[in-house]
Amino acid sequence: MAQAGVASQGAEASEQARPQYTRRQILEILSGLMLAMLTAMISNSVIATALPTIVGDLGGQDQLSWVASASLLTMTASTPLWGKLSDIAGRKLMFQTALILFVVASVCAGLSQGIGQLIAARAGQGLGAGGLSALAQVILGDVVEPRQRGRYAGFMGAVFGVATVAGPLVGGFIVDADALGWRWCFYVCVPLAVLAFLVIQRVLKLPTARRDTRIDAFGAFTITGGAATLMLLLSMGGKQFPWNSAWTYVLLGATIALLVLAIVAERTARDPILPPRLFRNRTFVLASFVSICVGMAMFGVMIYMPQYLQIAKGMSPTASGLMTLPLVIGMLITSTGSGQIVTRTGRYKLFPVVGTFCVVIAMVLLSRLHTDSPKALIGADLAVLGIGMGLTLQILILAAQNAASTADLASTTSGISFFRNLGGAMGVAAFGAILSNRVAGEIASGLRAAGIQRAPGDGLGSPDDIQMLPAPVRSIVRDAFTSSLETVFLAGIPVAILGFLAVLALKELPLRGSSGRAEAVKEATGAGLGAP
């Protein structure tokens, strides 16, 4: 009882020590965070339509997947570390460090003269992006109390959706513009990052907290190592080596061993990166699991839908980007609207329940698309997915932050971001394996049925290459790709259903606000949700 009382007093004191900002100051800080989030997220999606041109210029067609996945790998693996480092060195310093790292890596990527240099620069971009995506949410949690946070978190969610979907559109415009070229896909993020740095430097004034803490080096090594080996296995399995091979078993064994060691490290460390007490928090566990499921569905659709639009529908990169606007609009409206409603009512569970249900429906609808599906139907299906994402992503972070003590805010936020990114990486890799394995067999079957010996080239090739195929072969390739993509979206349905069921089990806790802050903290501490 004495320990619980001390913990609740400490948590209450931390809540009361929260800096008091005016609405204008919060909006200024939010603008800097949104610029940083836009910078981090758009860096991963802007090169999607430029990859064929990039590898054509630098060579290394066999390493194309690494250009796309290197930043996602390092972003996922480093996310938990940034939260812990911000506890030690301060939020503002580490946020600006992530911005500087991202800018330097982006410039290096634009100056790359070989595919190896580009992959290394993309890995550096991922390190910076991991810090920006995690610490933006942490800083928002420091500045705004949970009851008011939904109002501003909705804008952060909207930026995430806009950046992820608008990236391919911007990339297509840059590649098509004669005066720019693919290198500007990396340079375009630099002005946004510099502006975000200056805004944060001017408006963010967080108190300096001296903490008796130390870096959990062993935990950092095992957590990042386990995430890295798992992502290597998922991204390379079935492509660079067969699933039933020595490499598969080595990477799988290394992943299991590192994850077991990570559990040991976090249970014995004085200041763990992911404190074991977080996993005794029902809300954190459920929000993390739902984030994995939603991340798999979201990233899978956002990566492979542009391919469907360009290959099956014959659209240009710019047109395929415009076709995803219904997803952006749906996400923008629901993320901002739900945030406003949560702020006024203090109730939040309904939104992720409805949101994950919409994700399930969207995956079912997308799995029924065909080569001749009308554009209006495609846009409607994407709008349903956008509505689901807008109602879910930021509310999950808000729920987890609300259930954690102030001392665990950074670990909780970076943990949710880590699991969402991990789910996205797993989804991209798993759906990619399904697609590549299915499409080869579908094309071969279609060619045999048509009495054609073989298609020109060894694989699908770029959308432009497919457009140049003879009409009968082009039709077979399009039908094969569409049929294979249907299987991908079908595989996403049970994943989305699991996320929906997990949300139903989520317990809604009262949002802490200025009027009942101390009581909510004491309740959470007494329930074992935030006690050190």
Backbone angles phi and psi of 241, in degrees to 5: -150, 155
**Of 136, 149, 102, 100, which Cα lies nearest the Cα of 121?**
102
pLDDT for 523: 42
The residue written with tokens 């949970």 in the block is 146
The pLDDT of 469-475, averaged and rounded, is 75
What ranges do the domains of the chain cover? Answer: 16-207, 216-270, 280-426+495-510
Per-residue pLDDT at 518 exceeds 70: no
Cα(342)–Cα(332) distance, rounded to whole angstroms?
16
Helix (H, G, I), strand (E, B) or coil at 304: helix
Domain 16-207 identical in fold to domain 280-426+495-510? yes
Residue ranges in 46-90 assigned as alpha helix (H)? 51-58, 64-89
For the chain, what percent of residues have pLDDT higher than 70? 78
Helix (H, G, I), strand (E, B) or coil at 274: coil
pLDDT for 460: 57
Per-residue pLDDT at 519 exceeds 60: no
pLDDT digits (tens, 9 = 90+) for 306-327: 778 877 787 776 677 678 788 8
**For residues 394-425, b (16+ Cβ closer than 10 Å) or e, as one string?**
bbbbbbbbbbbbbbbbbbbbbbbbbbbbbbbb
pLDDT digits (tens, 9 = 90+) for 212-239: 556 667 877 887 788 778 877 876 776 6
The answer to whether 24 and 143 are in contact (CB under 8 A) is: no
pLDDT band at 500; cut points 50, 70, 90: very high
**Of 76, 430, 457, 411, which Cα lies nearest the Cα of 276?**
411
Cα(26)–Cα(35) distance, rounded to whole angstroms?
14
Per-residue pLDDT at 415 exceeds 50: yes
DSSP code of residue 178: T
Per-residue pLDDT at 468 exceeds 90: no
The answer to whether 154 and 336 are in contact (CB under 8 A) is: yes
pLDDT band at 161; cut points 50, 70, 90: low
Cα(198)–Cα(203) distance, rounded to whole angstroms?
9
Backbone angles phi and psi of 460, in degrees to 5: -65, -40
pLDDT band at 30; cut points 50, 70, 90: confident
The pLDDT of 133-141, averaged and rounded, is 78
**Does domain 280-426+495-510 match CATH 1.20.1250.20?**
yes
C-alpha dihedral (491, 322, 423, 132), degrees to nearest 10: 180
The pLDDT of 243-264, averaged and rounded, is 88
Helix (H, G, I), strand (E, B) or coil at 211: coil
Per-residue pLDDT at 361 exceeds 90: yes
Per-residue pLDDT at 135 exceeds 80: yes
Q: What is the mean pLDDT of the chain?
A: 76
Structure token digits, residue 34: 């949104």
DSSP conformation letters of 389-442: HHHHHHHHHHHHHHHS-GGGHHHHHHHHHHHHHHHHHHHHHHHHHHHHHHHHHH
What CATH number labels 16-207? 1.20.1250.20
pLDDT band at 46; cut points 50, 70, 90: confident
Angle, alpha carbons 254-259-262 (nearest 5°):
125
The answer to whether 352 and 391 are in contact (CB under 8 A) is: yes
Per-residue pLDDT at 96 exceeds 90: no
- Residue 446 bridge partners (DSSP): none
pLDDT band at 179; cut points 50, 70, 90: confident
- 507: region left, alpha or beta (phi > 0 left; psi from -120 to 50 alpha): beta
Structure token digits, residue 171: 């990339």
pLDDT band at 257; cut points 50, 70, 90: very high
pLDDT for 71: 78
Structure token digits, residue 186: 């990396």
Per-residue pLDDT at 12 exceeds 50: no
Cα(268)–Cα(264) distance, rounded to whole angstroms?
6
